[in-house]
């Protein structure tokens, strides 16, 4: 340890010397070379002292722990500073690209990254992994599938979304302890799916169930907002009252959240509700404020698209045809970029009404024909989704159930000869159980956007 401290002290002094701006090129080169030598010596010494291995042997998954204070220790022993194995890091990089690209509508790049990341995970032999490491890969896989469901719903690819969501359900049922945090997300995604296919009552059930399964105040607020929008879309007085009951408490504590995701979501939902209640001027104020915040801080194209769509409809209701025309055209452009057919149909419906108000017969007929094709496309997609074997299972008002193993099941699995019982314990990683089928390869961070689109 004394030698390590001396090396660290010498390296600190060397780093201080290198920080001087008046060094000539020759001196700086010499100091830099010396710095590299010291770092290598310190690294090798650290590896030997921590693991008892030679410097050529990896410490667990490859990276030895750095000793000096400016290095962040990512995990305690036995990992010795290692956080993830290389393959998981590569998958995580793909996931980060997806997470940041999805709100911007970069779906093509996201698709490539999701395929790459899930392929990496599928190549890992989880049955030979420690339970905690298998858990890392499973959590990453669930994150990829969550983003896939969201993108597929945004792109109106309902069948693809069904398949990814069923995979999430199957993985959770198989490993409920490892994937406990995914339970509320799965319920939320089922709510998103139900809303996207027009099953608003079922959507409210799943959103509210999701809010009961998490202790995160932020997630609870988002789920309540999603449920509120579904209630608004139902449209009757009782449902509108329930929407108010859900949105009101969120608005009351809106400034307590970190960031603006909850605020922009709540303002869109509240503005949408005010518009449905014919409180048009107040709705305009709320929506304009939310749009400005979204544009400034989030860069979420889908949310901006939803704000513009609602504001365009509002401007039309106020007979401000000039502003309505400009806003609706922008909303349509974004909806096309996102391949968001429901939003496109809503915008086209509003544009048809605008051309009728303005007496633009030619534009009205052209727009009406385009609108008709989009509506037919949407109805065909909805029909296929509703006839799917997974549709009823995903929307039904039943909480996802996990089979509880009996003592007899456990003893049978541990003793042999049957290896078909699935256990969510370390030994279960090595059991041969049927795994969910590989992926065939809405609402965004704000994902509220998709919820309000079938107003007309």
- Category of 81 on φ-ψ map: left (φ > 0), alpha (ψ -120 to 50) or beta: left
Mean pLDDT of 342-346: 94
Predicted confidence at residue 435, as pLDDT, reads 44
Q: Helix or strand or coil: residue 81?
A: coil
What does the alpha-carbon distance between residue 428 and residue 433 come to, in Å, rounded to a whole number? 9
Predicted confidence at residue 295, as pLDDT, reads 86
Q: Are 68 and 11 in contact (CB under 8 A)?
A: yes
What does the alpha-carbon distance between residue 181 and residue 179 come to, in Å, rounded to a whole number? 5
For the cut 50, the answer to whether the pLDDT of residue 423 exceeds it is no
For the cut 90, the answer to whether the pLDDT of residue 72 exceeds it is no
Mean pLDDT across the chain? 79
For the cut 60, the answer to whether the pLDDT of residue 105 exceeds it is yes
Q: Where are the alpha helices (DSSP H) in 197-260?
A: 200-212, 217-234, 237-252
The pLDDT confidence band at residue 256, using thresholds 50, 70 and 90, is: confident
The pLDDT confidence band at residue 350, using thresholds 50, 70 and 90, is: very high
Mean pLDDT of 102-109: 91
Mean pLDDT of 388-397: 93
**C-alpha angle 326/327/332, rounded to 5°?**
100
pTM above 0.75, yes or no: no
- Residues with Cβ within 8 Å of 45's Cβ and at least 6 positions away in sequence, in order, are 3, 4, 7
What does the alpha-carbon distance between residue 451 and residue 5 come to, in Å, rounded to a whole number? 59
Name the nearest CA neighbour of 203 among 397, 448, 447: 397
What does the alpha-carbon distance between residue 268 and residue 150 come to, in Å, rounded to a whole number? 19
Span 11-38, pLDDT tens digits: 777 677 766 666 666 676 677 777 777 7
Q: Which residue, chain included where needed, has tokens 């000039």?
A: 322
Predicted confidence at residue 212, as pLDDT, reads 94
Structure-model confidence comparison of residues 43 and 194, the more confident one? 194
What does the alpha-carbon distance between residue 61 and residue 394 come to, in Å, rounded to a whole number? 40
Q: 440, exposed or middle or buried, with CB in 10 Å at 0-12, 13-18, 19+?
A: exposed
Span 261-305, pLDDT tens digits: 889 999 999 999 999 999 999 999 999 999 999 888 887 898 999
Predicted confidence at residue 46, as pLDDT, reads 56
Q: Are 306 and 450 in contact (CB under 8 A)?
A: yes
How many Cβ atoms from other residues are within 10 Å of residue 444's Cβ?
A: 24
Q: Are 424 and 176 in contact (CB under 8 A)?
A: yes
Structure-model confidence comparison of residues 175 and 381, the more confident one? 381
Span 36-63, pLDDT tens digits: 777 766 666 555 554 444 333 333 333 3
Q: Are 382 and 198 in contact (CB under 8 A)?
A: yes
Predicted confidence at residue 426, as pLDDT, reads 37
The pLDDT confidence band at residue 399, using thresholds 50, 70 and 90, is: confident
Span 294-335, pLDDT tens digits: 888 887 898 999 999 999 999 999 999 999 999 999 999 999
Report CA torsion sign: 190, 212, 173, 128: positive
Structure-model confidence comparison of residues 28 and 396, the more confident one? 396
What does the alpha-carbon distance between residue 182 and residue 171 come to, in Å, rounded to a whole number? 10
What does the alpha-carbon distance between residue 420 and residue 417 come to, in Å, rounded to a whole number? 9
For the cut 50, the answer to whether the pLDDT of residue 414 exceeds it is no
């Amino acid at each position: 340890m004394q030698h390590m401290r001396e090396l660290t002290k010498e390296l600190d002094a060397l780093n201080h010397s290198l920080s001087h701006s008046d060094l000539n090129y020759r001196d700086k080169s010499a100091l830099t070379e010396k710095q590299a030598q010291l770092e290598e010596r310190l690294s090798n010494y650290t590896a030997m002292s921590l693991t008892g291995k030679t410097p050529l042997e990896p410490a667990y998954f490859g990276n030895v722990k750095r000793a000096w204070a400016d290095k962040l220790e990512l995990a305690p022993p036995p990992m010795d500073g290692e956080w993830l194995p290389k393959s998981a890091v590569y998958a995580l990089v793909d996931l980060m690209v997806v997470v940041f690209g999805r709100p911007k509508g970069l779906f093509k790049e996201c698709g490539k990254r999701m395929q790459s990341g899930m392929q990496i995970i599928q190549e890992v032999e989880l049955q030979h992994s420690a339970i905690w490491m298998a858990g890392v890969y499973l959590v990453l896989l669930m994150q990829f599938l969550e983003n896939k469901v969201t993108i597929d719903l945004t792109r109106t690819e309902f069948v693809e979304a069904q398949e990814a969501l069923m995979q999430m359900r199957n993985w959770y049922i198989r490993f409920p302890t490892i994937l406990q945090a995914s339970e509320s997300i799965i319920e939320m995604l089922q709510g998103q799916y139900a809303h996207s296919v027009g099953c608003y009552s079922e959507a409210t059930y799943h959103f509210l169930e999701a809010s009961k399964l998490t202790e995160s105040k932020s997630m609870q607020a988002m789920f309540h907002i999603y449920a509120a929008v579904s209630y608004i879309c139902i449209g009757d007085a009782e449902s509108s009252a329930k929407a108010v009951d859900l949105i009101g408490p969120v608005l009351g504590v809106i400034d307590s959240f970190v960031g603006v995701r909850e605020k922009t979501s709540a303002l869109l939902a509240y503005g949408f509700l005010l518009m449905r209640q014919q409180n048009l001027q107040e709705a305009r104020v709320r929506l304009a404020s939310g749009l400005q915040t979204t544009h400034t801080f989030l860069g979420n194209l889908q949310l901006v698209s939803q704000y513009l769509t609602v504001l365009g409809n509002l401007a039309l209701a106020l007979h401000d045809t000039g502003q309505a025309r400009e806003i609706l055209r922008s909303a349509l452009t974004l909806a096309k970029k996102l391949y968001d057919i429901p939003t496109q149909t809503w915008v086209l419906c509003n544009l048809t009404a605008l051309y009728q108000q303005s007496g633009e017969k030619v534009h009205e007929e052209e727009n009406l024909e385009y609108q008709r094709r989009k509506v037919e496309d949407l109805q065909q997609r909805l029909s296929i989704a509703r006839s799917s074997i997974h549709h009823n299972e995903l929307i039904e008002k039943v909480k996802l159930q996990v089979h509880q193993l009996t003592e007899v099941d456990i003893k049978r699995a541990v003793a042999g000869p049957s290896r078909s019982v699935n256990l969510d314990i370390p030994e279960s990683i090595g059991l041969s159980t049927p795994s969910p089928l590989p992926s065939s390869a809405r609402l965004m961070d704000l994902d509220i956007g998709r919820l309000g689109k079938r107003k007309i």
